[in-house]
Every structure is written in C-alpha cells, then in structure tokens.
Amino acid sequence: MSAGLLVESFLESMAVERGAAAATLDGYGRDLADWLGHLVRAGRDPISARAEDVARHMAELAGRGFEATTQARHLSAIRQFHRFLYAEGLRGDDPTGTVDAPKKKRALPRVLSEAEVDRLIETARSDAEDAREPPRSLAERARARRLYALIETAYATGMRVSELVSLPASAVRGEAPFLMVRGKGDKERLVPLSSRARAAMTAHLATVAEAGRGGSKWLFPSWSESGHTTRQAFARDLKALAIRLGLPAGAVSPHVLRHAFASHILAHGADLRVVQQLLGHADISTTQIYTHVLDERLRDLVETHHPLAGVKEDGGRGSA
C-alpha cells in the first residue's frame, strides 16, 4: 500500500472511530503530508521510517522557524499515525516512541514600565486626595482611597492579590516598615511596607471608620460574603483606572503589579534569592522567569567591568 493510501486509511479511522472533526482531519493531513515529504527526501517510507528520521524531521521544523506548539502538533500527528500502523500490524514498532515533544517556552509575565506604574499610582493618589467642589460622596471617597491604598501596597510589597485583599486591619498597627503576610501553604513571610503605602492605608482606614465600618477585622472590608474586598473588585477598579490613562485594559491587573514589583527591583539590583523570599515562591525556578529584565543590565556590567571588555581585535585595549 502506498504512503498516501496509508495516510488516507489513518484519517478515515480517525473520522469513523474517533469522530474527528473536519478541521482536525485537515490539520493532520497537512502535517502528515509534510512528514511524507521528509521521508521521500530521506529515501524512506512510513513502514521503514526510524526514530532518527522522526528526530531529524523535528529538527528540520525547528530550523524552519516553527513554534514549539506547532512542532508538538506535527509530532502528535506523526505519533498517532504510526501507532495506527502498529495497531494494524503494518509495523512491528513505533518510531516515535523515543522522540520527546519540544518544550514550550514559558511565557514571560506581562510587565508594566516604571513610568506606567508611576502614572497609575499618581492618578490614584490624586483621586484619593481630590477635594473638588461639590465634594464627592462618602462612598466615592472611600472607593478612591481604597483603590489607592491597594495599588500602593501591591506595588510596594509584591503580594499576591489574594494575600492583599485579605489583610487584617491590625496589619498597619505600629510603625514597623514591614508586614507579616500569610501566604500559600499557610506560610508566613515578611514583606516591606513603604511609608507611602502605610500613609495610604491610614487614610483608607479613616474613611472606613467614617463609613461606620471601623470595627471590621479586615483592612479592606466590604459587604461581600468573605467580609473583605474581592480580587474581582480590585481588578475592576484598576482596569477602569488604566482605561482612563489610555493603557490597554488587558495589560493591567493586580497580578501585573506583582510582576512589576519583582521585575523593577531586580532591574535596580535586588538579589534573586531576596526576590524569591519577598514573593513567597517555594522554588527559585519560579522566580527566575523575571530574570529577562536583567539581560541589558548584566550586559552593561560585563562590558564595563570585565578585564577583557576593552580589548581591541589587534590586542590593544580600548578606553573602556
């Protein structure tokens, strides 16, 4: 049976036995046509194909600039095709068994620039201190001060949004420049608290007391079932602020502020282990995703301080 007929038989099996959709079958057909073309160039066919052929084909796809997800889709099609041939007794083995799917690159976190964070914070601060006439209602002032305190504290500490909205009211007692946060796994850690964040919290609590909620055990109380402001409420108000500033709503969220905190302090020289502790990551590999922000700074450090940085091609030294 020709290679083309083998693929047709496989696709028919996929349609009848698995109920594969037309779009799925079309995709498999294109990927397998690519595979068959590779085999023809290698002087092989689906029955004589070896694991080395599969590996070379995957390397060829990578060389053509295919994304890891596309490569993985090709391999899936090839793997299911050869398992079909094995199940039908047309082959005695599966040449794809020892070939690993390409690893997907871990998505980099979306990060706001320092200027963008400054705009968010300063606008929120201005709203919180706004004394326009006629004066805003108590509810409006309370919401503005709450948002400013949330943004200022999120960026100052790098806390998870769930940790932030559930802070107890006692968190701002005393003058200690840090907070004790209870994070994942009920683990406690210290996080820094700037004077601006503390002042924003104090102003927020004053409005809470004015609204008659001063006895709440939560720093950010609400009438929700949880008793404190929800992540959704914070995200909603933050996105509304971002839209006012002309920032894309999809680029701004409470979690993005956490990313900004980590990226910005790394860019200013913080140690990766320290950032791991501040973020509450159990494994430093989770924190290492933020090291993309260090590329330019590290390059500058090497070019400035490495003893060979100023060596010219003729063996002399430059002024660097």
Assess whether 290 carries a catalytic annotation: yes
Per DSSP, helices labelled H in the chain are: 3-17, 22-41, 51-63, 68-87, 114-129, 138-157, 161-165, 195-210, 231-244, 254-267, 272-279, 284-287, 295-305
Assess whether 255 carries a catalytic annotation: yes
Catalytic residue among 141, 204, 258, 259: 258
Assess whether 184 carries a catalytic annotation: yes
Catalytic residue among 184, 268, 273, 297: 184
Catalytic residue among 28, 148, 155, 290: 290
Assess whether 258 carries a catalytic annotation: yes
CA gap 68, 283 in Å, rounded: 25
Catalytic residue among 160, 198, 228, 239: 160
Catalytic residue among 91, 110, 143, 281: 281
Give the position of tokens 């390397």. 59
Inter-axis angle of helices 195-210 and 138-157, to 10 degrees?
A: 150
Catalytic residue among 56, 83, 182, 255: 255
295 close to 114: Cβ distance less than 8 angstroms = no
Classify residue 231 as left (phi > 0), alpha (psi -120 to 50) or beta.
alpha
Assess whether 91 carries a catalytic annotation: no
Give the position of tokens 């092989």. 44
Catalytic positions: 160, 184, 255, 258, 281, 290
